[in-house]
């Protein structure tokens, strides 16, 4: 049994031995404190992580499809290979986070901050790129952008 403390003072009890690979789909973790936690390969699809503290957490290979990460702080988090299709990420802080090979197709990024984030090989054909802060983010030739989107004009450093 793991107890996740939320900033609201509420505790969420999860009947697992580790959060890595855990089945947490649809869980309400609003304002949860998960700093530096390993949630690698976890199923967090349709979970509520709005305003959560996720700094330095690992979501490598995790399923976060249709999850809400709006207004969360996920600086330096690892989302490499994660499924973030349709995720709500508006106004989130994802500075210096790793999204290498992640699928963000259909995610909503309006107002999110990605300075220093790595988007190598990620599918970022999503909503709200025009209002997201991408200056100083990194991508490569394998990153998939929406048709007609110019990452260089948004300050993305495209590595060859």
pLDDT, tens only, 22-43: 888 999 999 999 999 999 999 9
**What per-residue confidence (pLDDT) applies to 19?**
86
String of DSSP letters for 30-75: TTBB-TT-B-TT-B-TT-B-TT-B-TT-B-TT-B-TT-B-TT-B-T
Count of Cβ atoms closer than 10 Å to residue 57 Cβ: 26
pLDDT cut 90: percent of the chain above it = 83
In a domain, 63, yes or no: yes
In a domain, 77, yes or no: yes
Contacts of residue 121, defined as CB under 8 A and 6 or more positions apart, other chains included, come to 100, 101, 140, 142, 143
In a domain, 30, yes or no: yes
In a domain, 121, yes or no: yes
In a domain, 143, yes or no: yes
In a domain, 106, yes or no: yes
Query: Confidence band (pLDDT; 50, 70, 90) for 122?
Result: very high
In the chain, how many domains are there? 1
Residue 48, SS3?
Answer: strand
Query: Confidence band (pLDDT; 50, 70, 90) for 7?
Result: low
CATH number at residue 158: 2.160.20.80
Q: Look up the domain containing 136 and give its range.
A: 20-160
* Mean pLDDT score across all residues of the chain: 93
In a domain, 83, yes or no: yes
Does the pLDDT value for residue 1 go beyond 70? no
Instruction: Give 97-105 contacts, CB < 8 A, sequence gap 24+.
Output: 99/124
In a domain, 8, yes or no: no
* pLDDT tens string 48-104: 999 999 999 999 999 999 999 999 999 999 999 999 999 999 999 999 999 999 999
d(CA 158, CA 6): 38
């Amino acid at each position: 049994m793991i107890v996740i403390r939320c900033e609201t003072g509420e505790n969420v009890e999860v009947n697992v031995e580790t959060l890595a690979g855990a089945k947490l789909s649809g869980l309400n973790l609003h304002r949860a404190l998960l700093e530096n936690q390993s949630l690698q390969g976890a199923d967090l699809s349709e979970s509520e992580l709005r305003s959560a503290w996720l700094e330095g957490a690992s979501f490598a290979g995790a399923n976060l499809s249709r999850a809400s990460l709006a207004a969360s702080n996920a600086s330096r988090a690892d989302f490499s290979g994660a499924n973030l299709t349709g995720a709500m990420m508006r106004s989130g802080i994802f500075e210096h986070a790793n999204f290498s090979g992640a699928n963000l197709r259909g995610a909503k990024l309006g107002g999110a901050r990605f300075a220093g984030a790595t988007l190598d090989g990620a599918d970022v054909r999503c909503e709200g790129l025009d209002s997201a802060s991408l200056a100083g983010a990194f991508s490569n030739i394998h990153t998939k952008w929406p048709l007609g989107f110019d990452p260089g004009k948004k300050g993305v450093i495209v590595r060859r």
